[in-house]
Structure 1
């Protein structure tokens, strides 16, 4: 079965293609001037005019590059260019490029946006977006910055758009009050600039984001032996951001991809075994608000499908598994997967109903070696929330407490939360274990979800991609609404915060949800489920996981 994505001609560029300016190193501020993109290459000081259809790139300030070095924010209003550099804001006429001082901040000015006579300037060090009157140069008011990283700005009508490089997020703010309406996860890390393109014929607006980071690559060095070595290079491009906001469901969806995923087990036991009447169950990908299963088929051997707690499971049967017997079997699925970001405030959960007895008996108990009866875990559960009673604030406090206590490290096996807290280092699964224990002791229903992430190389399409590790995160439950996702460790950036909240109630397109609320893989023999003590699946078989990105999903 084939799945076709639409193709577009070079002139159908707006909202469809990735723009890769020739020769650019690090793009920061971007803005549209009619149908052309204007961007600043910060380390070079190049003010670039970019044709979105062809990537053709022209340096506009050929004789003033030094004056434009280290500029981070850029905006255009009518025939005036506005920029931020160091602590100051400057303006100049397009074409002259003689920068005139506008205002100086106490700390570094990051991003800038202009609407009529109002000038918006972001400052990470202050934690605010400052609003100035263009004519008087006086500060009118200021808004709290919604994220923790360096933020760039764009404005349109009644909306102020804020992209945060650390949060991997775009925030939609009310331009008059600064209140966050919703937020959208970006499909790539490190967004460094944001601009709005308005179609002259339809009035339709499209958000564009610049991204800048370093990427590792294998360099061929003929003077070395061996000649291949790891190196890093700049990676910068501009890509449209598509979103769909559903206020009733409290979430916004963003860019996504059509992905083919395969999961295959190869029987290759460390020690030969003899098993009779075997049923080998492997969970299948789930249908969720952000992930749609388009097609599933068997690999190697046929399977029958079961529903367990509403989740699809592939069941492979063997009359016997004998010493020396070898098989490969599994499934292949085609998925539409998008980014999702839920938005709830503490006020939204002030009067949620009580957790049902069924959920309490299932999701508030120690049913997965969580060491919830140990002194160190119980003490951590109390310290994590203090006197907080609001469900959402408790969840946020527990997450930050765990991030303060742990740093990330991979181990060959999963320890219980008491040992992890004593050690202070944990893998993603150990982060999840500690989070589950502390949440459940504080009356918050939660469960382990996940299993794999597609390697996040969206430009590597139609080639096999293999993840280095499996991955788990968790979901917590808000009575009256449902389950919300929360990553285990990626937002723990160290240094005791402030920690980003990009994956607090959010997942990106590369998170693959499989078998929510049920075990990923189980083995039974003669109707009896085998435990790790009986036989470990990891000692019986080798798994093979493969992703293929088939293409980007069209706009909403």
Structure 2
């Protein structure tokens, strides 16, 4: 059996970590394992599918009553009884008969997911915001717990734990079954999780948590009747994938599915205007070592570099005796990285009565040293309005995030404006979101800094294929005295106009974030006397074209120092 989740552990690869793709399925929601078979509900077609998880061989069990299951979402199996939810109704039927549904109860709001343990029925209901707990015998509500996320949630029961996935939060939560308290949560490697269940290997008795995902996938369709013949179309994609996780309770974080990724950052020298630079150093930051990122290997591309430590961070230094506009070079680095999803496990009580901020951080991370417009009246007013009378550090940071999300909408611009301009305009890129967040946080006494720099395209099932990101990306870290730096995304959680906003990336990062050296510039050119060369003299964007590429090599299971490939 798998160890109790209150301790750190690694889920073993039953089915050898295989991705399960049921044939003919469009949108899988509820799932359950029974013996060596997977049962899955297709909400679009109404099919109750029985799937061989080793081969994807699929058959329809409710051939004569599939209409009764159209729109069904939650699924649970207890003994020989199958339970499912559809709209406001909860049904049960016998697996030994013709799957004729019998009504159990009807709710005031749609029931999304269902879990069954003995005589207790657990229902998730996004509309009510609760997990509803019913007695199987009396058909009456026993109690209810607050739902941990904001999206449509599905649920399964394992021992003394409730496990819940949330499609908007991109998160799986482990709750105490008796109290509803969240023990820990982990990010899923894919968006839109719609169902979850534990599979127990019949030989080893080891358990693996499988999560179902459903989404619309964009693709280019070759239409011979159109001109031009390539059209952008969307199609349903649904599958199940193991969720591997490692709860590091003492360090307040949980890791989930990781990937071995090869990343290259290379500059192609191609000046737009005449240049003549003598004895310069072109510095490019190297990937950072963090709890969720490990640098396995680094090597130069094009030209050799000298590695240097700056404020404890690793920097690649390329030296040029003489650069002119007639010369052409490519130079940079290629790194092999282990990257994981991470979610820090803090609650609001951890933001009370925190220690004093170290003076060195106060002098560096509470000041306007990055054109943050902290002296502007609209920024100072926003800083006051965002937190009100709140004194808890974590609640203050959460309120600031929500305040900025309420007032900004995401949009790409060719340049970054200062926070006062971006806030007045109401539209900003990730860098402009970040500027406003930094300014409001620092004015409220929260030390914070810019971090980043790129995101690998989130295609973890595409191995050994070069993937190029469309943009660079920045986010932030804020400092929790007594612990350290915590990550927070700049804008990706701003998905609902006016909220509520997910908290998946509040103190969390997905596996596809690539973290560069922190607290130092990512890329800068210096003269021989160590002074930075002004942008007016030599702007990097006008000197060179950057080439960024990711290649996903393997999937990794966290907590294992000798990582092995997980097959799909």
Q: TM-score, normalised by structure 2?
A: 0.95
Question: Residue 378 of structure 2: SS of its match in structure 1?
Answer: helix
- Measure the CA separation in 1 of the matches of 2:471 and 2:325: 29
* Structure 1 residues 400-443: Cα deviation after superposition (integer angstroms, max 9, x where no partner): 00000000000000000000011000000000000000000000
**Deviation by residue 1:6-60 (Cα, 9 ceiling, x = unmatched):** xxxxxx7525011111111000000001121100011101100111111111111
Instruction: Give the alignment of 1:427-466 within 5 angstroms.
Output: 427-466=429-468
Please name the residue that 2:73 is paired with. Answer: 72
- Counterpart mapping for 1:178-327 below 5 A: 178-327=180-329
Match of 2:554 among 537, 545, 551: 551
Q: 1:107 is matched with which residue?
A: 109
1:421 aligned counterpart, secondary structure: helix
**Structure 2 residue matching 1:539: 3-state secondary structure:** helix
Residues 13, 53 of structure 1: 8 Å contact kept:
no
CA contact (8 A) 1:74 1:113 kept: yes
Could you list the per-position Cα deviations for residues 93-118 of structure 1 after superposition, in whole angstroms to 9, with x for gaps in the alignment?
A: 11421101111111000000001111
Measure the CA separation in 2 of the matches of 1:239 and 1:168: 14
Distance in structure 2 (CA, Å) of the matches to 1:483 and 1:531: 31
1:423 maps to what in 2?
Answer: 425
What's the secondary structure of 1:383's corresponding residue? helix
Q: Are residues 1:540 and 2:543 paired?
A: yes
CA shift digits 1:283-302 (9 cap, x unpaired):
00011101100000000000
> Which among 140, 146, 166 is matched to residue 148 of structure 2?
146
The 3-state SS of whatever aligns with 2:233 is strand
Give the corresponding residue for 1:5: none
Aligned with 1:433: secondary structure?
Answer: helix
Q: CA contact under 8 A between 1:85 and 1:109: conserved in structure 2? A: yes
For 2:37 and 2:522, locate their aligned partners in 1 and report how far apart those are by CA, in whole Å. Answer: 49
> Number of residues paired by the alignment?
545
Paired residue secondary structure (1:400): helix
- Give secondary structure in 2 for the equivalent of 1:272: coil
CA contact (8 A) 1:15 1:206 kept: no
CA distance in structure 1 between the partners assigned to 2:482 and 2:533 by the alignment: 36
- Over residues 117-143 of structure 1, what are the superposed CA-to-partner deviations in whole Å (9 max), with x where a residue is unaligned? 110000000000000011111100000
- 2:349 counterpart residue number: 347
Aligned partners of 2:92 and 2:104 also within 8 Å:
yes
Once the two structures are overlaid, the 10-residue window that deviates more, 434-443 or 225-234, is 225-234
Q: Contact 2:85–2:114 at 8 Å: present in 1 too?
A: yes
1:531 aligns with 2:531: no
Whole-angstrom CA distance in 1 between matches of 2:402 and 2:464: 39
**Could you say if the C-alpha distance between residues 199 and 555 of structure 1 is closer, same or farther in structure 2, counting changes exceeding 3 Å?**
farther
Contact 2:255-2:558 at 8 Å conserved across structures: no
- The answer on whether the counterparts of 2:246 and 2:558 sit within 8 Å (CA) in structure 1 is no
Q: Which residue of 2 aligns with 1:85?
A: 86
Alpha-carbon contact 2:286-2:516 (below 8 Å) kept = yes
Q: How many Å separate the matches in 1 of 2:289 and 2:312? A: 10
Question: 1:64 Cα deviation (Å)?
Answer: 1.0
Q: Deviations over 1:464-484 (max 9, x none)?
A: 100000000000000110000
Structure 1 contact 403–494 (Cα < 8 Å) conserved: no
Q: Is the 8 A contact 2:14 2:208 kept in 1?
A: no
Partner of 1:58: 59
Note the C-alpha offset of 1:554.
3.7
Q: Secondary structure at the match of 2:431?
A: helix
CA contact (8 A) 1:28 1:73 kept: yes
Q: How much does 1:555 deviate?
A: 5.7
- Paired residue secondary structure (1:410): coil
Q: Hey, what does 1:9 align to over in structure 2?
A: none
- Partner SS state of residue 248, structure 1: helix
Q: 2 CA distance for matches of 1:139 and 1:108?
A: 16
- The change in CA–CA distance for 1:542 and 1:488 in structure 2 (over 3 A counts) is same
What's the offset of the Cα at 1:553?
1.1
Of the candidates 489, 495, 498, which is equivalent to residue 496 of structure 1?
498
Q: Alignment partner for residue 379 of structure 1, among 366, 371, 381?
A: 381
CA distance in 2, matches of 1:196, 1:393: 34
- Contiguous gaps of at least 5 residues in structure 1: 1-11
The CA distance in 1 between the partners of 2:544 and 2:185, in whole Å, is 42
Q: For residues 514-539 of structure 1, what are the alpha-carbon distances to aligned partners after superposition, in whole Å with 9 as ceiling and x for unaligned?
A: 11121100101232211323321001
Inter-partner Cα distance in structure 1 for 2:179 and 2:232: 48
1:309-368 deviation digits (Å, cap 9, x = unpaired): 111110000001023011000000000111000011111221221001110000000000
Matched residue, 2:563: none
2-side partners of 1:200 and 1:132: how far apart?
A: 31
Q: What RMSD, in angstroms, separates the aligned Cα atoms of the two structures?
A: 1.0
- Tell me the residue number matched to 1:365: 367
Q: Corresponding residue for 2:120?
A: 118
Q: TM-score, normalising length from structure 1?
A: 0.97
1:514 paired with 2:516, answer yes
Q: Contact (CA 8 Å) 2:14, 2:207: kept in 1 or not?
A: no
Using a 3 Å threshold, how does the CA distance of structure 1 residues 307 and 436 change in structure 2: closer, same or farther?
Answer: same
For 1:529, what is the secondary structure of its paired residue?
A: coil
| Structure 2 SS opposite 1:74 | strand
Quick check: 2:92–2:102 contact (8 Å CA) kept in 1?
Answer: yes
Are 1:32 and 2:33 matched, yes or no?
Answer: yes
